[in-house]
Structure 1
Amino acid sequence: MNRAKLLRLSSILVNSLSSTRQSGLHSLRLNQVTHFSHFTQSPTFSRNPHFSNISPNSHQSLYFSTTPDSLINLILSKDWSEEFEIELGKLNPRVNHESVVYVLKKLNRNPKKSLDFYKWVRDKKGFEPRYVPSTILLKTLASREFLKDFWDVAEEMKGKGFCIDKHIYGAVNGALERENLVTEAGVWTKFYEKMREDNGENDAVKGVVEVIMGSEWNEGVESKLMKLGFPLAENVVFRVVWNLKEEPLKALKFFEWIASSRKFEHNSVTYSRMARVLALGGLMDEFWNLVTKMRSKGYEIDNYVKLARCLGKEHAVKLFELMMDGPYKPTETECNWLLKMLAHELDPDIELVNRVVNKYVGAGNTHTKALYDGLHRSLCKAGRFDEAKKVVEDMRNAGFKPDNITYSQEVFGLCRLKRFEDAVKVLNQMEAEGCVPDIKTWTILIQGYCIAGQLNEALSCFAQMPERNLDPDADLLEVLIDGFLSQDKLLGAYKFLVEMVNKACIKPWQATYKLMIEKLAQDGKLNEAFNLLSMMKQQGYPPYPEPFTAHISKSGTVEDAKKLLEAVPMNGLPSTEAYLNIITSFFNIGRHSEAKDLLYNSPSHVRRHRIIKKLFGSKPSINSPS
């Protein structure tokens, strides 16, 4: 869109949609500054108290002398060949579940080497493919160049009875869509659904779960399980434990019983899944006892992030420290994930953040920009800006230049404390240093005003963006819509959304449309809600009839229902399901007359549907108007 037009539009919106403007808004405009006092140089990063005087090179040789990292360094340094395989064989690396997972994670940005390594350990070293390493490789290969190999791995997983969970499905689907492999993404969805149908609940798993869930654990349950004679396969045990996650103590009983009575040898896969079930259930004493036993037998957690997601922050940090002391340490990506998770807290625990950073650096890892930002993020959110500035000084001394991420964290922290003038100064400081605030930085500032209930100021900032060659996006639109709604300005939010779509050519998030449709339908503003439904369809989103159905069934008319049926289909005529939903909703709430009126105006195949016959009976009166 032409920015001059957007500038005029934003000015109109500020004047027409906001409440009465307060004085002094123009004093908040960002001004170019003529000078800037740089942060005073501070001691080096290693002297920062947050890093416990750890030297950047401490433990480096010990860390890189471990077998998994030596193996990774060798794989990355040479092309794969038969000669190279001979050289690898002479290293005699330890090939087990943990080591294969660790190497595949480290190679996840190099599909060719990941695939070569996987084939080598499978075909030459006798490694039996398991769920976790297979899914890591699957995500790595989800690209245009490696599609054949991707499908080979997927078929191998299906053949071994694996059942991919929805998170892996989503990650792979996202990777395919980013490569514009729309057709392949559709095939992948069908493959995933078929795999879940074939492998998700086979008879063996289903039978075991039904017996265990049928009563409290006792000798009778054990006797029934013995009679079932289910296969003691890793994949069966893995899935039984997961299907018992709603009853974690029963899952643990089963886990212990098959080891003692059936002599099943647990491994990293089954231990890790049992640990997740206990963590999800909040059984922390049992969780740590299991982890201790697991490690005493030489097994390690195979996926830190998946398990840490199920834990509280203190336990997640404790597990991180435990794994950093082991041979298969959490990766840089996993460390950064943990720091972000800790910063997500309303009031970040800086002691926990320091423990993570110190442990990671203490293992000989280099200081990365992401590591500095991880600590800086929590300090800013906690309002400890003096300490945050010292981290920025150390960042500079280490050769990393503060960027939009760094400054945005400070802006967010200041906005959280309603120190908006200071937040604006940070933006001026950025420009003075040649770091132009981007759309995300502006969005954070505007969000700060919205959260503080200062919608006028948020809109004033929004009006300045076209002058700075910044186009609003779906994230910013969502923030401003939330700002309107927080001030009970539902129609203002609606008008703003329509203007931004029609005149600024923004495609809102699907969630933004859905939220506004829900609010409008609840408030009885069906015409406005129908308009958004139409806009939603025009931008390629699926229809969202649920809020309409709920409102219309309670207080709407048959004409409202007809209007919804016309609006719902993406192509052609309304679906049978759409008719059934509305007619059933009328009927269930006791509005039988409206249900019949709508039914008489429905196609004949709807009137003959089994659900309709069950509701009204098979009387002739439902087949034609009375």
Structure 2
Amino acid sequence: MARVLGREDCIKEFWDVLHKIRNGRHELELETYIKVLERFLNRKMIAEAVNLYEFAMGSSEKPSPQDFVFLLRKTVVSRDPDLNLITRVVRIFINAGNSIKGQVFDTVLKSLRSVGKLAECDKILKAMEEGGFVADSSVHDRVVVGLCSAGRLDDALEYLDNVEKAGYSLDPKTWASLVQKHSRAGKLEMALQCFYKMIERKDGENVGCAFDVLVNGFCQKNRAKDAYKILKDLVTKKNVEPWQSTYKFLIERLVSQGNIKEACSLLGLMKSHGYPPFVDPFIGYMSKSGTVDDALSFLKAVTGKEFPSKTVFLHMFEELLKAGRHELAHNILSKSPGCVRNHADVLDLFYSMKPDDATAAAA
């Protein structure tokens, strides 16, 4: 009888039957529950479906956890999701002695994404929390990423900020995602603001990923010099430690644009973090269009007790001579320290690659 009456035009009669079953100390068959629930959901009768679920959870043979997830997903993706119904579904499940793991929220996010409603993920989580779901940091991470993916960047930043103020510590990659989304949207100043907020929360630790994204964002907008200024300021004043790959990427961009002074300055910062100097872009630049002053600035930047500067001199002289920039090589040599000018390997290199030999090598 319950199966027959479980439709919108017989709702009152349907519930009368169910109450008689319960009062007569009988049970609603699980198969009947499943059939009627599917009918309710197919006909968009979400409230009735939740009422039926609550009734079934009061039976000795309760719906399975999978049934809970199924109903939650259907409630979430309904045309105008009723947050109160979402709260009820969660509360019913938890009050029956169950717990909800973070994977359930992953399923909810997938459902929201499938119907283009990812922008509502923060509201859905709040409704679930009101029902007793306890979200951990990883769940909040997913909400921030979801809001970013939905284009709600300002809301994502506000959400992240509030969550961390509440005592949660979100994954640095979540911050990086927010910085990246702002950068790709052309909102570089907002991306920078996000990063500064991250530093406040993380005290300059574990920020390498987000900073790498920030530097890339500025460089993509042809603002490598601005990225350099930001990096220098953050390293010297905020104790930020960029990744080695971040240094390399920015040095390559600066050198390719002829900003040798700034690129040389980064070599000193690299050394302060224990990274070996990144010399290849400089050598390539010198062999094509570098000047004596460029070369001397570069060589001064890489000279130090721990770095074999003579090796760099030899490498640069060799590339200059191969490229036929014989005059430039000699000018640099004349202004080099005596230990370099008189070094046997340097003298042998210049002798072996006289102008005619250098031309042949270049060919």
TM bracket, shorter-chain basis: 0.5 to 0.7
- Is residue 411–residue 426 contact of structure 1 (8 Å, CA) maintained in 2? yes
Partner of 1:486: 220
Q: Evaluate the alpha carbon distance shift between residue 603 and residue 412 of structure 1 in structure 2; reply closer, same or farther with a 3 A threshold.
A: farther
Q: Evaluate the alpha carbon distance shift between residue 530 and residue 375 of structure 1 in structure 2; reply closer, same or farther with a 3 A threshold.
A: farther
Q: What is the one-letter code of the residue matched to 1:546?
A: D
| CA distance in structure 1 between the aligned counterparts of 2:169 and 2:321, rounded to whole angstroms | 56
1:518-554 alpha-carbon deviations (Å, 9 max, x no partner) = 1111111111111111111122110101111111221
- Is residue 183–residue 191 contact of structure 2 (8 Å, CA) maintained in 1? yes
1:546-567 alpha-carbon deviations (Å, 9 max, x no partner) = 1111112211123322332232
Partner of 1:448: 181
Q: Evaluate the alpha carbon distance shift between residue 507 and residue 422 of structure 1 in structure 2; reply closer, same or farther with a 3 A threshold.
A: closer
Q: Tell whether 2:168 aligns with 1:436.
A: yes
Partner of 1:553: 287
Q: Evaluate the alpha carbon distance shift between residue 375 and residue 581 of structure 1 in structure 2; reply closer, same or farther with a 3 A threshold.
A: farther
Q: Quick one: higher RCO (CA 8 Å, sep 6+), 1 or 2?
A: 1
Number of equivalent positions: 263
Q: How does 1:148-547 map to 2 (within 5 A)?
A: 385=118, 401-424=134-157, 426-427=159-160, 430=163, 434=166, 436=168, 438=170, 440=172, 441-464=174-197, 469-472=201-204, 473-547=207-281
Work out which of the residue numbers 341, 350, 353 in structure 2 matches 1:615: 353
Q: Evaluate the alpha carbon distance shift between residue 608 and residue 469 of structure 1 in structure 2; reply closer, same or farther with a 3 A threshold.
A: closer
- Is residue 182–residue 191 contact of structure 2 (8 Å, CA) maintained in 1? yes
| CA distance in structure 2 between the aligned counterparts of 1:615 and 1:372, rounded to whole angstroms | 70
1:405-462 alpha-carbon deviations (Å, 9 max, x no partner) = 2222222232133222442464377469x55353634443333222211123233444
Task: Determine which structure has the larger helix proportion and give its number.
Answer: 2
| CA distance in structure 2 between the aligned counterparts of 1:45 and 1:425, rounded to whole angstroms | 34
Greater radius of gyration (CA): 2
Partner of 1:583: 317
Q: Evaluate the alpha carbon distance shift between residue 557 and residue 616 of structure 1 in structure 2; reply closer, same or farther with a 3 A threshold.
A: same
TM-score, normalised to structure 2's length?
A: 0.58
- Is residue 121–residue 146 contact of structure 2 (8 Å, CA) maintained in 1? no
Partner of 1:606: 345
1:46-88 alpha-carbon deviations (Å, 9 max, x no partner) = 1335999xxxxxxxxxxxxxxxxxxxxxxxxxxxxxxxxxxxx
2:249 partner SS:
helix
| CA distance in structure 1 between the aligned counterparts of 2:101 and 2:252, rounded to whole angstroms | 42
Q: Evaluate the alpha carbon distance shift between residue 447 and residue 555 of structure 1 in structure 2; reply closer, same or farther with a 3 A threshold.
A: same
Q: Aligned-pair distance for 1:585?
A: 1.8
Identity %: 31
Work out which of the residue numbers 295, 300, 303 in structure 2 matches 1:566: 300
| CA distance in structure 1 between the aligned counterparts of 2:351 and 2:65, rounded to whole angstroms | 75
Q: Evaluate the alpha carbon distance shift between residue 369 and residue 581 of structure 1 in structure 2; reply closer, same or farther with a 3 A threshold.
A: farther
| CA distance in structure 1 between the aligned counterparts of 2:309 and 2:112, rounded to whole angstroms | 52
Runs of at least 4 residues of structure 1 off by over 4 A? 40-45, 49-52, 367-384, 386-393, 462-466, 611-614
1:347-378 alpha-carbon deviations (Å, 9 max, x no partner) = xxxxxxxxxxxxxxxxxxxx995755765676
- Is residue 176–residue 211 contact of structure 2 (8 Å, CA) maintained in 1? no
1:170-200 alpha-carbon deviations (Å, 9 max, x no partner) = xxxxxxxxxxxxxxxxxxxxxxxxxxxxxxx
Q: Aligned-pair distance for 1:613?
A: 5.4
| CA distance in structure 1 between the aligned counterparts of 2:350 and 2:65, rounded to whole angstroms | 72
1:452-488 alpha-carbon deviations (Å, 9 max, x no partner) = 111232334445557x644343233223222322332
Q: Evaluate the alpha carbon distance shift between residue 428 and residue 470 of structure 1 in structure 2; reply closer, same or farther with a 3 A threshold.
A: closer
Q: Evaluate the alpha carbon distance shift between residue 471 and residue 587 of structure 1 in structure 2; reply closer, same or farther with a 3 A threshold.
A: same
Q: Evaluate the alpha carbon distance shift between residue 592 and residue 438 of structure 1 in structure 2; reply closer, same or farther with a 3 A threshold.
A: same
Q: Evaluate the alpha carbon distance shift between residue 480 and residue 521 of structure 1 in structure 2; reply closer, same or farther with a 3 A threshold.
A: same
Q: Evaluate the alpha carbon distance shift between residue 469 and residue 435 of structure 1 in structure 2; reply closer, same or farther with a 3 A threshold.
A: closer
1:589-626 alpha-carbon deviations (Å, 9 max, x no partner) = 221222344456534222255x655533999xxxxxxx
Q: What is the one-letter code of the residue matched to 2:353?
A: L
C-alpha RMSD over aligned residues: 4.4
TM-score, normalised to structure 1's length?
A: 0.35
